[in-house]
């Protein structure tokens, strides 16, 4: 195979660049964001009224209160009407207000040292497996050199074996190690008993055994018989946010409950042993990992919780054929199953992201940014002025960003389009470097990195954003309820956080 130049892209240009968000902004998604905003408009209108009533009552003297009592005690009808109205409004408020959802704590699985896979080990095992042609071994080497992955990522034992041993038994072993490892640490951190869990949601896109992964957890921890359990499959790397959103909805209707969310992917049975290049990229990027998250709607948990869930926004582009088919699990011409990544992936991801942030903007941006945005939008749409839409500065809405560590190219383009600084991108880039693409759990390794660096202060807002097959782009916004002291934390970064950040070269020769 002819040696390519160091800066020669391995994929077509269309798959490397996100569309420029300034070229177009669809008004319907702006309106959708404001629809979400006014869903709870009653609270917005009642708040000033409550303030005015409180201000008026503060001016009352004891004599004024006595005069009101004297007038009311001889008017039974007025007393009954006022009392009924007060009870009705109070009941309506408490029944319709959304329950706050707290993130008590979370944990990320850190595999044992024997699972570490350097890039050289990866290439040696790929060659020894006998599955790949010399040309495709060279292709994988170039992908790895430009991937942004470091030398300490992890792969399951079945993949590192020579020859590889992808079997249902080994896949279950990997799933149990990841899920139980993360959940054990979470229970240890929170002192919550397994019997306390009322809702269980597990997401794993490509491994859906019978009994399900959620059933495996229920059996292992002997969870209670009336638990509400869900097992989400085939929803890609954004399924972690979908799980959080589902847990949020369930916690609105089940008071005094704990929800356990487990996000992971399984590598063992999804290692591609063929020579279709569109399927080989996944081999080079995906690595072993998972996370467990404990959510609560109990008011008593607010003081000990780390974060409160503020918003979730989900965008699904599955109705569009090109979006639907850009990430597909399928067989190659030799009958070997792998995940095909379309050359249109980056363009599709960019369109989904643009829709998501346009919807999210009205919920989170300060008024000044929204006025600038609407000013340019009105000028362009109504007065046909030749101006570019104003792209709001999301750094004014969030202190921290956790962007799915899907690959280096995606992170580069998001940094440019959202005008983020290297500091904002550091958690995502270091997660990709240290752990690789761990699918839906990568957002939690990124948040754990931010905590280990001591960056989370009380009141800080964090934006988690992820992409997934289908095609989906989902966001979650969290508000810190307390300052996180890294000295009291236990997460996969703590023992080595002093080594980060590191410089990741554009090309790291193997």
CATH code at 380? 3.40.47.10
pTM assigned to the model:
0.84
Q: How far apart are CA 469 and CA 237, in angstroms?
A: 7
139 occurs within a structural domain: yes
267 occurs within a structural domain: yes
**CA-CA-CA-CA torsion sign (185, 186, 192, 196):** negative
Before 121, cis peptide (omega within 30)?
no
Chain-centroid distance, C-alpha 275: 32
138 occurs within a structural domain: yes
Question: Count of domains in the chain?
Answer: 1
> Which domain, by its residues, includes 469?
102-499
62 occurs within a structural domain: no
17 occurs within a structural domain: no
Before 313, cis peptide (omega within 30)?
no
Alpha-carbon distance values, 507 to 122, 135, 144, 149, 510 (Å)? 17, 19, 9, 10, 9
Counted residue by residue, the chain has a size of: 510
459 occurs within a structural domain: yes
Identify the H or E element spanning 292: strand 290-296
337 occurs within a structural domain: yes
If we measure between CA atoms, which residue out of 310, 329, 287, 311 comes closest to residue 441?
287
Q: What string of H, E and C letters represents the secondary structure of 401-421?
A: EEECCCCHHHHHHHHHHCCCC
* Tens place of pLDDT per residue across the chain (510 aa): 434 444 444 544 444 565 555 455 554 555 455 445 544 444 455 556 666 666 666 676 777 767 766 666 656 666 677 777 777 766 765 666 688 999 999 999 999 999 999 999 999 999 999 999 999 999 999 999 999 999 999 999 999 988 888 999 999 999 999 999 999 999 999 999 999 999 999 999 999 999 999 999 999 999 999 999 999 999 999 999 999 999 999 999 999 999 999 999 999 999 999 999 999 999 999 999 999 999 999 999 999 999 999 999 999 999 999 999 999 999 999 999 999 988 888 889 988 988 898 889 888 988 888 777 777 777 776 777 777 766 778 899 999 999 999 999 889 988 988 889 999 999 999 999 999 999 999 999 999 999 999 999 999 999 999 999 989 999 999 999 999 999 999 999 999 999 999 999 999 888
510 occurs within a structural domain: no
């Amino acid at each position: 195979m002819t040696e390519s130049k160091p800066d020669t892209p391995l994929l077509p240009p269309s798959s490397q660049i996100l569309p420029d968000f300034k070229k177009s902004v669809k008004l319907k998604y702006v309106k959708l964001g404001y629809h979400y905003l006014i869903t709870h408009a009653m609270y917005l209108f009642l708040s000033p009224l409550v303030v005015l009533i409180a201000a008026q009552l503060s001016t009352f003297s004891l004599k004024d209160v006595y005069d009101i009592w004297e007038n009311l005690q001889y008017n039974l009808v007025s007393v009954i009407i006022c009392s009924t109205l007060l009870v009705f409004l109070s009941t309506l408020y408490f029944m319709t207000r959304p329950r706050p959802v707290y993130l008590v704590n979370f944990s990320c699985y850190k595999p044992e040292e024997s699972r570490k896979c350097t890039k050289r080990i990866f290439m040696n095992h790929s060659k020894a497996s006998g599955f790949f042609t010399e040309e495709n071994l060279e292709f994988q080497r170039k992908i790895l050199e430009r991937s942004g992955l470091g030398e300490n990522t992890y792969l399951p034992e079945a993949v590192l074996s020579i020859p590889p041993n992808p079997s249902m038994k080994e896949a279950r072993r990997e799933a149990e190690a990841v899920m139980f490892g993360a959940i054990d640490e979470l229970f240890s951190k929170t002192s919550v008993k397994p019997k306390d869990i009322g809702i269980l949601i597990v997401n794993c896109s490509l491994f859906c055994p019978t009994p399900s992964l959620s059933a495996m957890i229920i059996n292992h921890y002997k969870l209670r018989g009336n638990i509400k359990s869900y097992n989400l499959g085939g929803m890609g790397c954004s399924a972690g946010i979908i799980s959080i959103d589902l847990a949020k909805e369930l916690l609105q209707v089940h008071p005094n409950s704990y929800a356990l969310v487990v996000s992971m992917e399984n590598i063992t049975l999804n290692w591609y042993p063929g020579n279709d290049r569109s399927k080989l990229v996944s081999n080079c990027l995906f690595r072993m990992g998972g996370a467990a998250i404990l959510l609560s709607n109990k008011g008593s948990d607010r003081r000990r919780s780390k974060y409160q869930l503020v918003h979730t926004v989900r965008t699904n582009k599955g109705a569009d054929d090109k979006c639907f088919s850009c990430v597909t699990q399928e067989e190659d011409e030799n009958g070997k199953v792998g995940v095909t990544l379309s050359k249109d992936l980056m363009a599709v991801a960019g369109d989904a992201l643009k829709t998501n942030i346009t919807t999210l903007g009205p919920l989170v941006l300060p008024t000044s940014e929204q006025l600038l945005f609407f000013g340019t939008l009105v000028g362009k749409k109504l007065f046909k002025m030749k101006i570019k839409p104003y792209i709001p500065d999301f750094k004014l809405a969030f202190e921290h960003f956790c962007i799915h560590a899907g690959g280096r190219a995606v992170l580069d383009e998001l940094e440019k389009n959202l005008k983020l600084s290297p500091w904002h991108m550091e958690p995502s880039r270091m997660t990709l470097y240290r752990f690789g693409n761990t699918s839906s759990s990568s957002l939690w390794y990124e948040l754990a990195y931010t905590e280990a660096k001591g960056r989370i202060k009380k009141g800080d807002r964090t934006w988690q954003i992820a992409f997934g097959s289908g095609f989906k782009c989902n966001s979650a916004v969290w508000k810190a309820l307390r300052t996180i002291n890294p000295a009291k934390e236990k997460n996969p970064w703590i023992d080595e956080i002093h080594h980060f950040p590191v410089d990741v070269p554009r090309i790291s020769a193997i």
